[in-house]
Amino acid sequence: MPVINRVAAFKDEIAAIRRELHQNPQTAYEETFASDMVAKKLTEWGIPFKRGLAVTGIVATIEGQKTDSGKAIGLRADMDALDMTEKSAQPWASKTPGKMHGCGHDGHTSILLSTAKYLQETRNFNGKVHLIFQPAEEGARGADRMIEDGLFRDFPMDQVYGLHNWPWLPLGRVEMRAGPLMANVDEFDILITGKGGHAAYPQGTVDPVIVGTQLISALQTIVSRANTPTDPLVVSVTNFNAGTGAFNVIGDTATVTGTVRSFSDDARQLAKKRIHEICAGIAATFGAVIEIKDYNFGLDATVNTPKETAFAAEIAAKVVGVENVRTDTELCMGGEWIVPAPETRLLHLHGARDKGRQKPA
């Protein structure tokens, strides 16, 4: 793998930034530590930037030695952490209880800062590069909010590129694919209301546990019997909560929550339609009330354009060797809240890293 000496020279500086970010994680729209760190470094390196997009978001701009090409691209990294407790025991482990950079966004931010430092020093290109430091990727629509706050109005760009660390790959390997790569991610929250009573007299109850188990079983038929097998779809019930805690009491209610993963709008709409129909049917069968409290169309699928994917593969091959670049990586049912926009192209790469993390949303 070829090494750019100048980048290697500030490796320790960037590693220190990453570890400091890791120690101070914050979640959606509260990423003040990361935002301040980014602003501090950009100021130190003489890179102009704008703060306040999506509350904590930052966009910096570096102009090349020439700009008469009229071209501009965006490079994007996310800054937010997850609501989870770190148990790594590393010296740079989270110092914030219940918060952790478990998805590697501290690494993403550090990578983009490293890129900013190098590009500002060399400026060996014709055009502009906009560096997008995005908050609230973990399901809180930070990308949408940056766009609403004028990202593409104030910083016009032709293409947007992003990457995601992927610790399951060998170190030094880069993978991508044209077309769909990461999935739509939707969520549902269902409330079952029955009729409670004493466990010794079940005939007088409408047991929400029984209703819930039948509902959960029926939901699995959406994938196995309603959806075409050639169009990937996953329906996962992740929480089923019921009961009073007493051994001899049947409760009144139960809740069922879960997630739907898909790539096509047809599969996405089918899953929503069938979940509503199944809830109505199970409710009628058992005499319960089943209410879908929330059905949220969340993350949209990451879809890469062929031209930009081929270009990224060509460049990656020059860096890590053609043998370490794969352009037909497997579809991922995880989701990524990226920064797409009309008339722009976004490429999402998988890049290896040597430390573990949580899977995508």
* Active site residue ranges: 80, 137
Taking the C-alpha atoms of residue 346 and residue 350, their distance in angstroms, rounded to an integer, is 13
Handedness of CA 167, 173, 174, 177 (dihedral sign): negative
User: How many DSSP H helices and E strands does the chain contain?
Assistant: 10, 16
Give 21's Cβ-side CA count (13 Å radius).
Answer: 31
Show the tokens assigned to 240: 């089923």
Dihedral pair phi/psi, residue 195, rounded to 5°: -140, 115
Taking the C-alpha atoms of residue 151 and residue 349, their distance in angstroms, rounded to an integer, is 22
Picking from 184, 193, 169, 198, the residue whose alpha carbon sits closest to that of residue 104 is: 169
Note whether 75 and 62 are within 8 A (CB). Answer: no
Note whether 146 and 341 are within 8 A (CB). Answer: no
Show the tokens assigned to 208: 């929400």
